[in-house]
Amino acid sequence: MNYELVCGLETHVELATKTKIFCSCSTEFGGEPNTHCCPICIGLPGTLPKLNKAVVEYAVAAGLVTHCKISPVSKMDRKNYVYPDLPKAYQISQYDMPLCKNGWVELSNGRRIRLNRIHIEEDAGKLVHDRGNTYIDYNRGGVPLIEIVSEPDLRSIDEVQEYVETLQMILRYIGVSDCKMQEGSLRCDVNVSVRPEGQEAFGTRAEIKNMNSFTHMAKAIAYEFDRQTDLLMSGEEVVQETRRYDEGTGCTEGMRDKEDADDYRYFREPDLVTIRVTDEMRESIRAKMPEDPQKRLARFVADYGLPEADARQLIEHRRIADYFEAAAKGTKNSRTAANCILEQMFARFGSEAEKDRFEVAVSPAQLHDLILLLDAGKIRKNLIKSTLEKMLDSGKPASDFLSEKDLAGISAEDLRAVCRKAAEENAAAVADYRAGKKKALGAIVGAVMKATKGRANPQETQKILTELLKG
Amino acid sequence: MEQHGLIQKIGKLLRSGEISCTELTKQYLEAIRRENGRLNAYVKLTPETALQTAAEVDRKLAAKEELPPLAGIPMTLKDNFSTKGIETTCCSKILKGYVPIYDATVWSILKKQGTVLLGKTNMDEFAMGSSCETSCFGGAKNPHNTERVAGGSSGGAAAAVAGNLAVFGLGSDTGGSIRQPASFCGIVGLKPTYGAVSRFGLIAYASSFDQIGPLTQSVEDAALVYDAIAQHDPMDSTSSNRALPAFSSLGKEIRGLKIGIPKEYYDGVREDVKAALFGALKVYESLGAELVEFSMPSVKYSLPAYYILACAEASSNLGRYDGIRYGYRTEHYTDRNDMICKTRSEGFGAEVKRRILLGTYVLSAGYYDAYYKKAQNLRGTVVKAFEDAFAHCDVIAAPTVPTTAFPLNFTAQDAVETYLTDICTVPVNIAGLPGVSIPCGFGSDSMPVGLQLIGARFSEPTLLNAAFQYEQAARDDVFQAVETGVRL
C-alpha cells in the first residue's frame, strides 16, 4: 500500500519591532547576555506588561498579507508552565481569540495552504549550557512573536519547504520580520501524519518541535514519514506525541517531559485589556503596506519577462525588488537589468546580511541610463558588463567610462558606406543571398559588426543591407 | 466643621515651624522602637531614608518652598510594595532577602511628594489571610487589645496607624485586606475603585481584584491620600483616568442621599455588631439621608466566586517564585526540578500552598468549565446586581465584618470558617467597586466595629463625603484613640 504524507505547520516568527512586546527593551539579536532586560521582561514581582502597539500593527500586516480575517476584538491569555527560561512561569499568548483567522498562502502549483490563525505572544529566554553549568540569558525573553498555524494541507516535503520559503519571502518583504532561521527568528513545529493514498480521514499525528533549518526539517519529515509508515504496515499504531529531531542521528525521538506539555491552564491575562482593531486601524495598516509580494512576483514575470526563479530572487528582498523596478521600468532590456543585479551585484556580497543591506555604489537611475544606452543600440551587451564593473567600483555614471566614439555610435551615412564596402568584399555571400539563401545575409552583417568593432546596430545594418542588395 | 485629620494638622505644624520634620520623624521612630515589639506592625524599618527625607523636607521648609499636601508626613507601605533598595518579602520566607531594583508607581508618587517612609508593614503571606497570622514574621496585634488580631491581610498597616506609629499606611485590598483590618483596629480603610490607583509594583496576589488604598485615622486623611495616589499610570494597562478628586467634596450636605441597605449583608452578623451598625444608620437618618432596604440575593455567590477566581490568578502569579533568580533557595537538591519543588515546599506557608493548589485545580483541563468559567459568570451576575442597586441608591451601607477582631490563633482552626468572615468585603472586589470601612462603635467585647460604605465605580467623592458626614456627627462616640504611640 502507498502512503501519503500530511503536514501542518506552526511557524513562530519574531517580529522586527524595535522594542519588546511588553516593555521598552531592545529586541536586537545578540548582545551580552542579560543586557536587553528590565524588571518587566524578567518578570520581577509586581511588574505589569504593557502591550506594544507596534506588535499588533505588525501582526495585523502579517494577517493581511496572508489573507486572514483580522479580529476586531481579541485578548491575551496566560499559558502556564514551568521552565527556567520563562521567568514569570507563564507565557503571555493568545488562546481562544487570536488576532488573525482563516487566511491562506498560495504555492507555485496553485494550491492554497489554509491558515487556521495567527496570534501574538512573547518569546522566552534561552538556556546556555557550558561545561556542566546552565546559564540563562533573558535577552530574547519578551521579544514579540507571531505563531502562524496552518491547516494540515501540505502533502510533500517540497510543499512544506515552499510554504516556509513563501512565508519567509512575504513576511520579510512587508518588513514585519527578517525570518532568519539560523538566528531563530523563524522556527517551525511540524505536525506529521500519514494515510493510505485515497483515504479521506487523517492519521494520528506526531509533532516535531523547533525545526530551525530546511535541511533538518526535510530530514525529520522524511524520517517521520518512514517511521509512521513502518508502524502502520506492521499493524501498529502511531501515538500522538511531541517528538524531538536529533541532528546527530537524523532520527526523531519522543519527548518524555509530557506532563508539562499537557495542561497549560490557560486563562485570560488579567493585567492586560481587550485588544481592539477598528476598521480604520486595519485599513490604515493595509494602506501603508507594499504591493502583495506574490502579485509583484507574477508581475515581474509577465511585465519584465523574467524567469520566475530570477524574479523570486529579486523579490526576496524588497529593497532589491524596488531597485530593480526603478532601473528596469521603461526599458526594453529589463532582463539585462535583472542580470546586472543577480550576477554582478550579488557577486560582490560576501554574506546574506550584506545582500540584505544591498549597499551598491550605483544608483537605480544610473543603471537605468546604462540600460537605455543598450536599448538605443548605442552600446553592445558585451560593453555593459565591463562598464557596470567600473561604475560599481567608482560610483560614477556610465558616461564616464564610455568614449565619445562609444556613445556616438555610427552615423547613418557612415554605416551605409561600411555596408557597401562589406558587400563588395563578400561577393560570394551576396551571390548566395541573391540566389535566395536569406541566411547568407548574416555573414555580411557579421562583417559590418567586425568593421565597426560592434558599434553598429545589427537591426539597422540588416535594413541597409537588404536595401542595398535589392538592386 | 471639625478637623480630625492628622495630615493637615501636621502640615500646619511643619509650616509654622512649631515642629521640624526631623523631630517629628524621630518621635515616630522612637515610638516604633518602643512599641513594635508588642504590636509587630512593622517587619522592616527604614530610619535612614526616613531621616534623610525629613532633612530634605526641613531644608525646603526653611527655604519657604511650596510643598505638596503629603510632604513630611510619616507613613508606611505594606510589605508587598516594590521598594527600590529596601527588602520586600510579602512576609513570605520565599522572598527573604529580595531587594527590588525598582519602585512601585504609588511609592514613586509619594516619594516625589516628600512623604517620610518609616518602614514596611506586616501582612498575611502574599496577602492571603484575614488575620495577618500567616505572615512568616508572626501576626500583627491589635492596638486596642493585644490578645486580638489586627486583622488581615494589611494587619501591620492597621496596627501601625491605630497604634499611632504612622500617620497613614498604604495597604492592598483583594478581598477585604484594607477594610477588614481597619474595622478590627477602629480606623478608616479605603479600597478604591479597581483601576483608580496603579498596581504597578504591587506584588500580585489576584490581579483582577488587587487594589491599593490608604488606612488612616480619619476620612479626611483617607481622601487626601487617595487624591495623591489616584492617577492614571501608563505602566498599568488596567489603570484608569476616570478617578475624581475626593477631598474637595468633603463637607457637602447629604440630605436626601439614598443609602441602600441590602438585607443579605446583615444575615449572620453578630448581635452586638449589628447594634453598632444600626446605631450608625440612625445617625444617617438624622442627617437627612434616606434608608432604602432591598434584597441582593446574588451577593451570596461572591464568596465562592472570589475564592475560585482569586486562587486561580494566584496560582499563576506565584509560579515565578522558583528559587532561580531571587529570594529563598533550598539548600539541598539533586537537580533543577528538585530544587524548584523543594524551594516552593519550604518557602511557602500552608495558606499560600492551599490557595495555589486550589487555583491550579480549578484551571485544570476538565475542571475549568465547572469552576473557573462558572465563577466568572457569577462575577458577571454580581456586577449586574450592584449596577441595579445603584440605579436606586447612591451608596450602600453594610457591615465590614460580621464580628469584631478575632482572638489570636483563632483563624488557624478552620480555613472555610475563616473565609466566611470575608463575606461582606469580597463582593466589592468582585465588582471592582470602591468601599470604605469607618469606625461606628464597639462590640460587647469593647472592640471596634466597622461600617462599610460601598459606592458605584469612581464615586469616591460621594462615598467619602458620606463617610465624612457620619464622622463629623459621631466621631466622639465611635472613635477611640489608642493611648500609645505618637500623640499630636
Domain boundaries, chain B: 6-298+379-478
Answer yes or no: pTM beyond 0.95: no
Question: Beta strand B42-45 with A267-268: parallel, antiparallel or unpaired?
Answer: unpaired
What average pLDDT does the segment B294-316 reach?
Answer: 96
Query: Is the confidence at residue B261, as pLDDT, over 50?
Result: yes
Query: Is the confidence at residue B346, as pLDDT, over 90?
Result: yes
Could you read off the pLDDT of B264-276 as tens digits, one per residue? 999 989 999 999 9
Partners of A26 in the beta sheet? Answer: A19
pLDDT at site A408:
60
Interface of B with A in 322-361 (CB under 8 A): 322, 324-326, 336, 340, 360
**What is the DSSP secondary structure assignment for residue A317, as one 8-state letter?**
S
Q: Does B291 touch chain A (CB under 8 A)?
A: no
What share of chain B in percent tops pLDDT 70? 99
Query: Is the confidence at residue B327, as pLDDT, over 50?
Result: yes
Query: Is the confidence at residue B337, as pLDDT, over 70?
Result: yes
Q: Looking at beta carbons, which residues of chain A come within 8 Å of B82?
A: 44-46
pLDDT at site A410:
72
Could you read off the pLDDT of A155-166 as tens digits, one per residue? 999 999 999 999
Interface size between A and B, measured as CB pairs under 8 A: 96
Q: Looking at beta carbons, which residues of chain A come within 8 Å of B98?
A: 45
Asked if ipTM goes beyond 0.90, one says: yes
Query: Is the confidence at residue A368, as pLDDT, over 50?
Result: yes
What average pLDDT does the segment B361-378 reach?
Answer: 95
Query: Is the confidence at residue A258, as pLDDT, over 80?
Result: no
Is B236 close to A43, i.e. CB distance below 8 A?
no
Nearest to B82 by CA among B169, B203, B168, B177: B203
By CB atoms closer than 10 A (0-12, 13-18, 19+), residue B198 is: buried
Nearest CB partner across the interface for A51, out of B100, B204, B237? B237
Give A471's pLDDT tier (boundaries 50, 70, 90): low
- Give the minimum alpha-carbon distance from A288 to chain B in angstroms, rounded to a whole number: 27
Q: Looking at beta carbons, which residues of chain A come within 8 Å of B343?
A: none
- Give the minimum alpha-carbon distance from B181 to chain A in angstroms, rounded to a whole number: 23
pLDDT at site A382:
72
Nearest CB partner across the interface for A267, out of B100, B203, B372? B372
Q: Looking at beta carbons, which residues of chain B come within 8 Å of A84?
A: 322, 324, 336
CA angle A458, A461, A463 (to 5 degrees): 110
What share of chain B in percent tops pLDDT 90? 93
Instruction: Count CB-CB contacts under 10 A for residue A78.
Output: 26
Q: If DSSP states are collapsed to H, E and C, what string results for chain B?
A: CCCCCHHHHHHHHHHHCCCCHHHHHHHHHHHHHHHHHHHCCEEEECHHHHHHHHHHHHHHHHCCCCCCCCCCCEEEEECCECCCCCCCCCCCHHHCCCCCCCCCHHHHHHHHHCCEEEEEECCCHHHCCCCCCCCCCCCCEECCEEEEECCCCCHHHHHHHHCCCCCEEEEEECCCCCHHHHHHHCCEEEECCCCCCCCCCECCCCCCCCEEEEEECCHHHHHHHHHHHCCCCCCCCCCCCCCCCCHHHCCCCCCCCEEEEEHHHHCCCCHHHHHHHHHHHHHHHHCCCEEEEECCHHHHHHHHHHHHHHHHHHHHHHHHCCCCCCCCCCCCCCCHHHHHHHHHHHHCCHHHHHHHHHHHHHHCCCCCHHHHHHHHHHHHHHHHHHHHHHCCCCEEEEECCCCCCCECCCCCCCHHHHHHCCCCCHHHHHHCCCEEEEEEEECCCCCEEEEEEEECCCCHHHHHHHHHHHHHHHHHHHCCCCCCCCCC
What average pLDDT does the segment B165-182 reach?
Answer: 98
Could you read off the pLDDT of B38-74 as tens digits, one per residue? 999 999 999 999 999 999 999 999 999 999 999 999 9
Nearest CB partner across the interface for A272, out of B90, B237, B340? B237
pLDDT at site B295:
97
Nearest CB partner across the interface for A270, out of B100, B208, B315? B208
Q: Does A44 touch chain B (CB under 8 A)?
A: yes
- What domains sit in chain A, N to C, each tagged with a CATH number? 3-283 (no CATH), 291-408 (no CATH), 412-470 (1.10.10.410)
Q: Looking at beta carbons, which residues of chain B come within 8 Å of A138?
A: none
What average pLDDT does the segment A351-365 reach?
Answer: 86
Q: Looking at beta carbons, which residues of chain A come within 8 Å of B340?
A: 82
Query: Is the confidence at residue A261, as pLDDT, over 60?
Result: no
Q: Does B113 touch chain A (CB under 8 A)?
A: no
Give A358's pLDDT tier (boundaries 50, 70, 90): confident
Interface of A with B in 116-155 (CB under 8 A): 134, 136
What average pLDDT does the segment A351-358 reach?
Answer: 82
pLDDT at site A406:
65
Is A46 close to B200, i.e. CB distance below 8 A?
yes
pLDDT at site A407:
64
Is B82 close to A44, i.e. CB distance below 8 A?
yes
Question: For A317-321, A378-382, B174-178, B217-221, which range has the lowest pLDDT when averaged over its residues?
Answer: A378-382
Convert A271-281 to b/e letters by CB count within 10 Å (16 or more is b): bbeebebeeeb
Q: Span B6-298+379-478: which CATH code?
A: 3.90.1300.10
Could you read off the pLDDT of A51-105 as tens digits, one per residue? 999 999 999 999 999 999 999 999 999 999 999 999 999 999 999 999 999 999 9
- Give the minimum alpha-carbon distance from B485 to chain A in angstroms, rounded to a whole number: 32
Residues A285, A99 contacting (CB under 8 angstroms) = no
Nearest CB partner across the interface for B237, out of A50, A90, A263? A50
Nearest to A66 by CA among A120, A14, A126, A106: A106
Q: Looking at beta carbons, which residues of chain A come within 8 Å of B312?
A: 267
Tell me how far apart the alpha carbons of residues A71 and B79 are, in angstroms, rounded to a whole number: 41
Q: Does B171 touch chain A (CB under 8 A)?
A: no
pLDDT at site B4:
84
Is B336 close to A84, i.e. CB distance below 8 A?
yes
Query: Is the confidence at residue A439, as pLDDT, over 70?
Result: yes
Averaging pLDDT over each range in A333-347, A364-378, B57-71, which range is the top one?
B57-71
Residues A32, A26 contacting (CB under 8 angstroms) = no
Q: Does B365 touch chain A (CB under 8 A)?
A: yes
Instruction: Count CB-CB contacts under 10 A for residue A230.
Output: 12
Q: Does B208 touch chain A (CB under 8 A)?
A: yes
Give A350's pLDDT tier (boundaries 50, 70, 90): confident
Active-site residues of B, by number, are: 78, 153, 177
Q: Does A263 touch chain B (CB under 8 A)?
A: yes
Long-range contacts: B361-367, Cβ < 8 Å, 24+? B362/B308, B362/B311, B362/B312, B363/A80, B363/A265, B363/A266, B363/A267, B363/B312, B363/B315, B363/B316, B364/A263, B364/A265, B365/A262, B365/A263, B365/A265
Phi, psi of B34 (to 5 degrees): -70, -40
What average pLDDT does the segment A177-201 reach?
Answer: 94
- Give the minimum alpha-carbon distance from A347 to chain B in angstroms, rounded to a whole number: 49
Residues B256, B289 contacting (CB under 8 angstroms) = yes
Comparing alpha-carbon positions, the chain B residue that sits nearest to A88 is B320
Nearest CB partner across the interface for A45, out of B82, B312, B372? B82
Tell me how far apart the alpha carbons of residues A27 and A180 are, in angstroms, rounded to a whole number: 14
- Give the minimum alpha-carbon distance from A27 to chain B in angstroms, rounded to a whole number: 19
pLDDT at site A459:
78
* Average pLDDT value over all residues in chain B: 96
Query: Is the confidence at residue B153, as pLDDT, over 80?
Result: yes
pLDDT at site A259:
47
